[in-house]
Amino acid sequence: MACLGISPDDPTEQKKFDDKLGLGFPLLSDKDHSIASAYGVWGEKQMFGKQIDGIIRSAFLIDAQGNIAHTWYRITPQKTVPELMKVL
């Protein structure tokens, strides 16, 4: 089993984010939003009272065959692994 994070941030920003939160899993950069778009998690959202395009924080449990077995939307990074462990 592997846990990975993906965001549109560059690796330098991701390192700062991981250092701050101590996530304990690798973060991959999706600068062109192609992965987020493929999973339907790049789109309009509210931030500070404004509509913007951005990442919709989500987590996906993908089984050995590559199928999505479970999804979590609007989940915090800190809750991702604990919530994943509940269904495993």
**Does the CA dihedral 4-9-15-16 come out positive or negative?**
negative
Does the pLDDT at position 2 exceed 90?
no
The confidence band for 52, taking pLDDT boundaries of 50, 70 and 90, is very high
E strands, the chain, are 5-7, 27-29, 42-47, 50-55, 58-62, 68-73
Query: What pLDDT does residue 39 have?
Result: 93
CA–CA distance, 65 with 67 (Å, rounded to integer): 6
Q: Do 71 and 60 form a contact (C-beta atoms < 8 A)?
A: yes
The confidence band for 23, taking pLDDT boundaries of 50, 70 and 90, is confident
Query: What pLDDT does residue 35 have?
Result: 94
Domains of the chain: 5-87 (3.40.30.10)
Does the pLDDT at position 4 exceed 80?
yes
- Residues 48-62 have a mean pLDDT of 91
Kindly state the percentage of the chain with pLDDT values over 90. 56
